[in-house]
Amino acid sequence: MMELGSPLEMIQLLQTPWEERFKICLSLVKLLFYLAHSPLGSIVLLDFQPRQFVMVDGNLKVTDMDDASTEELSCKEDNDCTLEFPTKSFPLKCSAIGKCEGINEKKNLFNAYRYFFTYLLPHSAPAALRPFLSDILNATGDLRYGINETLEAFEKVLHLYKSGLYLQKRPLHLKDFISLKGFRTVEGEDYKCWPSYSHLGCLLSVHSAEEAARICNSQLQCQSFIITQRRTWTGRPLALFQSSLTDLIPDANSVVYIKRSASSGERL
């Protein structure tokens, strides 16, 4: 029995927004948490490779369980419990029942670190979250964290991101914009930014209009933006950034934010 879904393409994933890559890593951590605490005992994935996973409705799942095992390495002393990887090894403890303590959980976790976390977590992450992500990378790369601590650390980052608490106090940028309530702009091909949710223009996840204003001020091409009705999996809205004022369309639920410097040369 195999799980059907979209195969993981790491190069393609590196081109997706950080928020989507974080979701994949969080899905993997939740999966490993389940495997570590399953009713069958701690389960190890013996062939832990990206090709063993698929995406199903935006969540990461294992394609099959043929290479899974609940057997933990038997031992007589601690020296029998070295967890070996090509570039690192980790000494573990031999338990009173003659099993290497936590070896399945730790093997899964280090494989998650070397195949997923190192590639998907740090790149283009919000600057204020990078110290927290570095802690996760360091602690899982050294196996100082178990799966419980790793899940707790991921959920902390998720809370900071969804709540906007990660945003550092900065000068207000929204004051540089004029707001036109009851209008929206025509969505069409415009300047590109990375990593955008649209290949036609610059469509980014934001916490608020203030964060969108900061992003717009940091981009030379940006002259206006709107907060769309679309939401990401975290519930954050998507903001569309534009390089010029297009035709305004009446829309009671929308607001167009226009740079004051741009509006001075346009007739509104």
Q: What amino acid positions are annotated as catalytic residues?
A: 47
Strand partners for 178: 258
54 by DSSP, 3-state: which? strand
Number of Cα atoms under 13 Å in the Cβ half of residue 243: 12
Residue 56 backbone phi and psi in degrees, to 5: -130, 115
* Contact status, residue 75 vs residue 99, Cβ threshold 8 Å: yes
For 77-139, the DSSP string reads SGGG-EEE-SS-EEE-PBPTTSBBTTHHHHHHHHHHIIIIIHHHSSTT--GGGHHHHHHHHHH
208 by DSSP, 3-state: which? coil
**First and final C-alpha spacing in the chain:** 61
Per-state percent for the chain, helix, strand, coil, to nearest 5: 35, 25, 40
Distance between CA atoms of residues 85 and 144, nearest Å: 16
Whose structure tokens read 């204003």? Answer: 213
Distance between CA atoms of residues 168 and 212, nearest Å: 14
Residues in the chain: 268
Residue type, 239: A
